[in-house]
Amino acid sequence: MNLQNLPGQPHFAYRGDALYAENVALAALAQEHATPLFVYSKASMLAALAAYQRGFAGRNAQICYAMKANPALGVIQVFVQAGCGFDIVSGGELERVLAAGADARKIIFSGVGKTRAEMCRALDVGIGCFNVESEAELEVLNEVAQSCGKRAPVSIRVNPNVDPKTHPYISTGLKGNKFGVAHERVVATYQRAHALAGLQVVGIDCHIGSQITQEGPYLDSVDRMLDLVEAIEAAGIPIHHIDFGGGLGINYDGDEPPKADALWAKLLAKLDARGFGARQLMIEPGRSLVGNAGVCVTEVLYLKPGEQKNFLIIDAAMNDLPRPALYQAFHEIVPLRPRAEATATTWEVVGPVCESGDWIGHERVLAVQPGDLLAVLSAGAYCMSMASNYNSRGRAAEILVDGSQAYVIRQRETIEDQMRAERLPYPTV
């Protein structure tokens, strides 16, 4: 790999032989804040957002950041200040976006298992839309809204039965998935929603999967959605907005997903051709806004050459970077300061967690010594958000870089933090 150009991460680059995030050397951050350490580039997030904004220029569109990708308050605040709305999936996510200053009216609430308490709180703060995922949820939301004297704004999440051609765990719009209301039940579900006094139909929603790298599934789902909007409106129920979900992929391993602006030019041409170009549009991108805006800096602890495999043991593990263990995902791994003199070896890059599933990279060719620092790339999405305390490891610190400034947006979790909510049942002796 050409070390001058990190794949898809233009705001992370080598200057001389040191890797920088914008104008800040990653090694200096590691020295000050220790490792493992997540470092995010604000400029990279804004550049990713700008691609969508260019795509929607002159349109009536709302970009709702799917904050599950990276829910750090400091990251959410970047998107609040950029005018985004938010796609949330839990009461916890609701409190986070509110704490970061989001406008409640720009919040949409997705998810198959919303509780009554979550619905109640979301109604209280006045969110923009509930993306309802089943007929049963519709009835409960109606009850909850009526009991607090409100009308809940709703979209029905449609399962368009489109194959997003991605990892099965992150496909969501196929018939066998738990998400959304089946295509053939949609009109009847809208008729029911329209008849319930506690609900107000405002839109329609879909989300077909994640890390989608082809345009075909999007083009297919647009057609299916528009067919449904026509059928629902023919039944006398106006649809104010159309939400096409998120899912656009990023470059992890030479992937070449469509660019957000180019994709939307095509999708909008389809909408225009069918007379829906002036409709309010919503999208829920997560990964494509933050994935390539982050890296995880980690230190080489030990080299353990072996007969069959050579193990390179780093201080980041599956609890920090769960995607390889969960989805066999590929994350590029590069040195912060490449060694010219050392000969490269092929390594299994693994963490300290006590499981063979704790691997970060297979068969990586790296010239390294203990104490060297590495960066695991494209770690801005679904890494810290899925991090755990497995093996009682504290979660990493997070830094937001803005030009030459580096802000600590999350301190490293201490063991006291981890034990705070726990109680010993018996006196200690």
Which amino acids are annotated catalytic?
A: 354
- Residues numbered 91-130 forming contacts with ligand LLP, rule: CB under 6 A: 110
- Is residue 292 involved in binding ligand LLP (CB under 6 A)? no
Q: How far is the CB of 159 from ligand LLP (least distance, A)?
A: 11
Q: Judged by CB under 6 A, how many residues of this single chain contact ligand LLP?
A: 22
Residue with tokens 């989300």: 207
Beta 359-366 vs 345-350: how paired, if at all? antiparallel
In degrees and rounded to multiples of 5, residue 297 shows phi and psi of -90, 130
* Residue pair 6/333 in contact by the 8 Å Cβ criterion: no
Considering only residues 33, 207, 331, 393, which one is a binding residue for ligand LLP as defined by CB under 6 A? Answer: 207
Residue with tokens 């209280």: 124
Q: How far is the CB of 304 from ligand LLP (least distance, A)?
A: 28
Spatial neighbors of 404 by CB under 8 A, at least 6 apart, are 22, 23, 24
User: Considering only 47-55, 76-84, 119-127, 282-290, which stretch makes contact with ligand LLP by CB under 6 A?
Assistant: 282-290
Considering only residues 382, 384, 394, 406, which one is a binding residue for ligand LLP as defined by CB under 6 A? Answer: 382
Task: Convert residues 236-255 into a mask of x (bound to ligand LLP by CB under 6 A) and - (unbound).
Answer: ---------xxxx-------
Considering only residues 287, 364, 393, 395, which one is a binding residue for ligand LLP as defined by CB under 6 A? Answer: 287
**Tokens in use for 70?**
């990276």
- For 283, the 3-state DSSP assignment is strand
Instruction: Report the residue number, 34 or 386, with the smaller CB distance to ligand LLP.
Output: 386
Considering only residues 106, 114, 183, 323, which one is a binding residue for ligand LLP as defined by CB under 6 A? Answer: 323
- Is residue 286 involved in binding ligand LLP (CB under 6 A)? yes
Spatial neighbors of 300 by CB under 8 A, at least 6 apart, are 312, 313, 314, 368, 369, 370, 371, 372, 373, 374
Calculate the alpha carbon distances from 273 to 206, 270, 401 in Å.
Answer: 20, 5, 42
Q: How far is the CB of 47 from ligand LLP (least distance, A)?
A: 16
Q: How far is the CB of 260 from ligand LLP (least distance, A)?
A: 10
CA atoms within 13 A on the CB side of 240: 9
- Is residue 49 involved in binding ligand LLP (CB under 6 A)? no
Instruction: Report the residue number, 52 or 347, with the smaller CB distance to ligand LLP.
Output: 52
Instruction: Report the residue number, 323 or 393, with the smaller CB distance to ligand LLP.
Output: 323
- Is residue 284 involved in binding ligand LLP (CB under 6 A)? yes
- Is residue 170 involved in binding ligand LLP (CB under 6 A)? yes
Per DSSP, the residues of 204-271 read EEE--BSSB--SHHHHHHHHHHHHHHHHHHHTT----EEE----B---SSS--PPPHHHHHHHHHHHH
The separation between CA 94 and the C-alpha centre of its own chain, rounded to angstroms, equals 15
Q: How far apart are CA 134 and CA 152, in angstroms?
A: 15
**Tokens in use for 188?**
């009847």
Q: How far is the CB of 169 from ligand LLP (least distance, A)?
A: 7
- Is residue 137 involved in binding ligand LLP (CB under 6 A)? no
Instruction: Report the residue number, 198 or 324, with the smaller CB distance to ligand LLP.
Output: 324
Is the four-CA dihedral 411, 334, 76, 239 of positive or negative sign?
A: negative
First CA to last CA across the chain, in angstroms?
58
Task: Convert residues 63-92 into a mask of x (bound to ligand LLP by CB under 6 A) and - (unbound).
Answer: ---x--x-----------------x-----
Q: How many residues does the chain have?
A: 429
Which residue ranges make up the site for ligand LLP (CB under 6 A)? 66, 69, 87, 110, 170, 172, 207, 210-211, 245-248, 284-288, 323, 327, 382, 386
